[in-house]
Amino acid sequence: MSGELGGGKMKRAATPFVICALADPVVNSLARQLSGATFVAVQTVGQALDLLLDRSCNLLIIDHSLLGDQATHLINVARVELGMSGVPIIYVVPKDRDPGLLRELVDELVISQVLFQPVDIAELIYQISRTLGIAGHDPIARDQTGEASRAEVQSAVATLWERFRSTNLERVEILEQATHDILTGTLPIEARREAERAAHKLAGAVGSFGFPTAALTARQIEMLLAGDTALSPDEVMRLADLVIRLRVELERPAPPGSVAVDQSVSDTAGDSLGRILLVTADAELDEQVTTEAQQRSLDVDHATTMAEARVRIACQRPDVVLLDLAPSEGSDAGLALLAELSNQEPPLPVVVLTQRNSLIDRVEVAILGGSGFLEKPLLPTQIIDTLYDVVESNRATESVILAVDDDPSILAWLRATLEPHGLRMVGLDDPLRFWSEIEETVPDLVILDVDMPHISGIELCKVLRNEQRWRALPVLVLTALTDPSTVHRVFAAGADDFVSKPIVGPELITRIDNRLERNRLHQRLAEIDVLTGVANRRKSSQAIEQLLRFARRRGDPLALAILDLDHFKQINDQYGHVAGDTTLRRLGELLGHSFRKEDVVGRWGGEEFVVALYGVSRSGAERRIMDVLDHFHHQRFTSPAGREYQASFSAGLAFFPDDGGDIASLYRAADRALYQAKVNGRHSVRSSGRR
């Protein structure tokens, strides 16, 4: 479909004609709310073809659930035999439609926009009004003239602008060609849609690179090009003037202080899996650990004193510090450095290496924020295994953002903005790959652009909210449209927040941090036992399963201990339930401080706790549990009535792989050992297989 859109006699298009293979109530609703078009409902492919043969169609809407596989036949006939290659088609598909089939719809059948069942009437109305340019589509908030505050220009964004400058200027060329064709009356409707899309992309992108005036100009151009109604002579002249101004604006350098990014980001990424700072005066240990680390693709930096370590960290922050508490400077100096690094924001992981291995030493290191406690002598491979696990663990807890936007320059800008703040960003410029990417990435937050080809961010958000797994995933929407209708669509789809384009970096970071923090709080409440502060049964079971996977893969030992408070009912009966809660809380705190970060401590209900110790021998596990038992037994408790009492627990231990290869079998073996410990009397530790 083409026609004169400017120059000569200005023609006003007839009322758009829309054929709808939709349920009758849906078509009736469209007709009521969009008076600027004529909607005709069809229930079969034959009815649709009769209408297509009888008159011109401006838009075809097909619900797959109504026509089934015959819908493909209808589209092929319309495209090939009836010459309707330029007529837009909106296709409604089941929400569980194979993403590969969606790609076929777009590539082979040239579907303009995909919506998902159950169809959202408001979203369908928006897409129709946007496609036809009729009442209901007001893409520009005309009074939006305020310019948001900007942070200092940084080299990363300047580099990005140079990288994408030619792309944005090519979009200006599309607008210039469209303006020329309008003036000569030769602009096809397909070219007008391409020009409208180019203006939309410019409006969303260039403001974030320091051209807010150009962004506003592009929005005004987009508004003029929306729909297919012929432009008046005054509108054509205004369009030409706006395109000239847009070119002039984007040809100049980006103004200082206009881009909201806090620091530059290096594009270089080596093959290293992480960086270790080794703090030791032991030359032999230094050499052995360095050799082993390099074989595992870990870089090593070196410091022989605590003062030198501080300088090294200031110059280049490592992923983990191995701190040797050798007597050269005294353990106090090393512990002071540990406390200092743990109090950094974000904390720097520190693994302590020492010949001292008392419970007091372990508790002190844990309280100061240590990420691991290694006892000399130890093989270099064992040291590097621990450091590697700490690096991987910290990377696993790094927040991952999946950003979906069909404009690569926006994705690059987002990466430059987010990654300096410790947020790992995965960019996706093809919304049709969204499902496979989210399964692979498993993000902590999703950023969606509202208007994208074929599938809008609104539709993607709705699909997420319909899936139980992703229902609570934070979703932030980017949009160049801030009119009330768009804002309503964003929140009605289930989005948590939105940010208007051009994007202001600090505002975006603040909104993301707020959402992530709120999500972490909800997650923590769902994973932590409120009374004792240790992991609940669900969370600790997941962590133990992960340790078992490590143990199977590496052939390392794993100990599972069940701890049960002795005569707990008697404590409640004699001293009150407040005293019982205090006893449980104190034991939880002691367990949390007494073991390494890689060990697992959980409360499995009532007075029962479990502890999983990774890579520890049978005798080592027994000794550690006994140390905690002795420490707990010597504590004094005071009831609300002022009566003093003591408490103790008994423990049973089981070991992988001797007693089983999964949690269930290890738990049964540990429970049998616990029963034997109870038979022996309170304050007892018993291991499986021992009589």
pLDDT at 148 over 60: no
Look at 56-70, 254-268, 321-335, 368-382 and tell me which has the smallest mean pLDDT. 254-268
Residue 474: exposure state from Cβ atoms within 10 A (0-12, 13-18, ≥19)? buried
User: pLDDT averaged over the chain?
Assistant: 81
Per-residue model confidence (pLDDT) at position 554:
79
| Predicted local confidence at residue 144, as pLDDT | 34
Residue 312 has pLDDT above 70, yes or no: yes
Q: Which two tokens stand for residue 168?
A: 């944005």
Q: Select the more confidently predicted residue: 177 or 296.
A: 177
Query: Which DSSP symbol is given to 208?
Result: G
Please list, in sequence order, all residues whose beta carbon lies within 8 angstroms of the beta carbon of residue 619, skipping any fewer than 6 positions away: none
The mean pLDDT of 38-50, rounded to a whole number, is: 90
> If you classify domain 537-687 with CATH, what class do you get?
alpha beta
C-alpha angle 594/596/598, rounded to 5°?
145
Helices (H), 185-324: 189-205, 212-225, 233-251, 283-295, 306-315
Lowest mean pLDDT across 97-101, 446-450, 467-471, 588-592: 97-101
Q: What per-residue confidence (pLDDT) applies to 328?
A: 65
Q: Which two tokens stand for residue 405?
A: 């936007």
Is residue 270's pLDDT more than 90?
no
CATH for 155-251, among 3.40.720, 1.20.120, 1.10.40, 1.10.10?
Answer: 1.20.120
Q: Looking at per-residue confidence, does 95 or 58 come out higher?
A: 58
Provide the pLDDT confidence category of residue 381 given band limits of 50, 70 and 90. Answer: confident
CB 282 within 8 Å of CB 288: no
Q: Is the pLDDT of residue 271 over 70?
A: no
Q: What is the pLDDT of residue 372?
A: 80
Residue 156's pLDDT is: 54
Task: Out of 222, 249, 598, 607, pick the active-site residue.
Answer: 607
Bigger pLDDT: 327 or 244? 244
Q: For residue 622, which of 551, 563, 548, 542 has the smallest C-alpha distance?
A: 563
Give ranges for CATH 3.40.50.2300 in the chain: 17-132, 274-369, 400-526
Label residue 263 by pLDDT band (50, 70, 90).
Answer: very low
Q: Indicate if the pLDDT at residue 215 is higher than 50.
A: yes
Span 9-35, average pLDDT:
78
- CA dist 453 → 92, 193, 497 (Å): 15, 12, 22
pLDDT reading at 256 higher than 80 = no
* Helix (H) or strand (E) segment spanning residue 324: strand 320-324
Q: What is the CATH number of domain 400-526?
A: 3.40.50.2300
Region(s) of the chain under CATH 1.20.120: 155-251
- CA–CA separation, 286 vs 303, rounded Å? 10
Closest residue by Cα to residue 399 from 457, 339, 451, 443: 443
Q: Which sign, positive or negative, has the C-alpha torsion 157, 158, 159, 164?
A: positive
Question: Per-residue pLDDT averaged across 11-34, rounded?
Answer: 81
- pLDDT for 12 equals 40
Q: Is the pTM of this model over 0.95?
A: no
Name which residue leads in pLDDT, 268 or 452: 452
Task: Tell me which H or E stretch contains 668.
Answer: helix 663-680
Paired tokens of 529: 């036992």
Question: Which percentage of the chain shows pLDDT scores above 70?
Answer: 86
> Looking at the predicted structure, is the pLDDT value of residue 147 above 50?
no
Contact 259, 208 (CB under 8 A): yes
Region 192-217 average pLDDT: 81
Of 141, 132, 114, give the one whose Cα is nearest residue 203: 141
DSSP codes, 566-614 = TTHHHHHHHH-HHHHHHHHHHHHHHHHHHS-TTSEEEEEETTEEEEEEE
CB proximity list for 187: less than 8 A, separation 6 or greater: 2, 5, 6, 178, 181
Quick check: 403 pLDDT over 90? yes
Coil, strand or helix at 400 = strand
Specify the 3-state DSSP secondary structure of 227: coil
Q: How far, in whole angstroms, is CA 464 from its chain's centroid?
A: 13
Taking the C-alpha atoms of residue 357 and residue 373, their distance in angstroms, rounded to an integer, is: 9
Convert the pLDDT of each residue in 523-538 to its tens digit: 666 778 888 989 999 8
pLDDT value at position 154? Answer: 47
Q: Is the pLDDT of residue 2 over 60?
A: no
Per-residue model confidence (pLDDT) at position 254: 57
Low-confidence winner among 209-213, 337-341, 509-513 (lowest mean pLDDT): 209-213
Please tell me which residue, 383 or 254, carries the higher pLDDT value: 383
Lowest mean pLDDT among 10-24, 131-145, 412-426, 628-642: 131-145
- In sign, the C-alpha dihedral spanning 268, 510, 212, 230 is positive
Locate 486 and state its tokens: 């768009």
190 is catalytic: no
Residue 249 has pLDDT above 90, yes or no: no
pLDDT over 90 (residue 422): no
Contacts of 149 (CB under 8 A, 6+ apart): 504
The rounded percent of the chain whose pLDDT value lies above 90 is 19
Helix boundaries (H) for 155-211: 155-184, 189-205
Confidence class for position 309, pLDDT limits 50, 70, 90: confident
Pick the CATH number of 274-369 from 3.40.50.2300, 2.60.40.420, 3.40.50.920, 3.40.50.720: 3.40.50.2300
Q: Which helix (H) or strand (E) holds 563?
A: strand 558-565
Is the model more confident about 147 or about 596?
596
Nearest to 408 by CA among 164, 135, 79, 243: 164
Mean per-residue pLDDT for 294-322? Answer: 83
SS3 letters across 431-467:
HHHHHHHHHHHCCCEEEEECCCCECCHHHHHHHHHHC
Q: Give the pLDDT band (50/70/90) at residue 135.
A: low
Which amino acid, 168? N
Structure tokens at 73: 């036949």
Which residues are bridge partners to 454 per DSSP? 113
Q: Residues 524-580: pLDDT tens digits?
A: 667 788 889 899 998 899 889 988 988 888 788 999 999 999 999 999 999 999 999
Long-range CB contacts for residues 323-332, cutoff 8 Å, separation at least 24: 323/279, 323/350, 323/351, 323/352, 323/353, 324/278, 324/279, 324/280, 324/281, 324/282, 324/285, 324/353, 324/354, 325/352, 325/353, 325/354, 325/356, 326/280, 326/281, 326/282, 328/281, 329/281, 329/305, 331/356
3-state secondary structure of 319: coil
Phi, psi of 213 (to 5 degrees): -65, -40
Compare 658 and 121 and report the one with higher pLDDT: 658
Report the distance separating Cα 76 and Cα 92, nearest Å: 17
pLDDT of 379: 85
Single-letter code of the amino acid located at 382: Q
Between strands 497-500 and 475-479, the pairing is parallel
Domain 17-132: homologous superfamily in CATH: Response regulator (3.40.50.2300)
Residue 20: what pLDDT? 93
Q: Can you give 449-513 as a three-state secondary structure string?
A: ECCCCECCHHHHHHHHHHCHHHCCCCEEEEECCCCHHHHHHHHHCCCCEEEECCCCHHHHHHHHH
